[in-house]
Structure 1
Amino acid sequence: MKKIHLLLTAVALILFSSCYTVHTAGNSGKIPPGQAKKMTGSQSAKPYAPGQQKKY
């Protein structure tokens, strides 16, 4: 019984220690203001900058 308990513990440790998550950059998925300006054809990138957007 003790051997089975040790075996299950060892298997659980191996399974859970191999799990990890991959973290991407904090800004992933967002495009720079200049690129947003080019995509929309706007004359200025100011409305697309994070500090220039109005909060409602």
Structure 2
Amino acid sequence: MKNLKCISILVLMALFIASCGVHRVHTNAKGDIPPGQMKKITGEKSAKKYAPGQQKKKY
């Protein structure tokens, strides 16, 4: 019983540690990064998504 309690505590601790990941989202809202550099950061094949002249207008 003592071993089961110890193992369950270790599993819970491992889950808590594993869930503390940091996720970063790269955005180009201010336009301070050129579209080509943003493409390299995100790993996309095309920089069209990040070029301001290629964005569709949303009404």
TM-score (structure 2 length as normaliser): 0.42
Q: Which has the larger radius of gyration?
A: 1
TM-score (structure 1 length as normaliser): 0.44
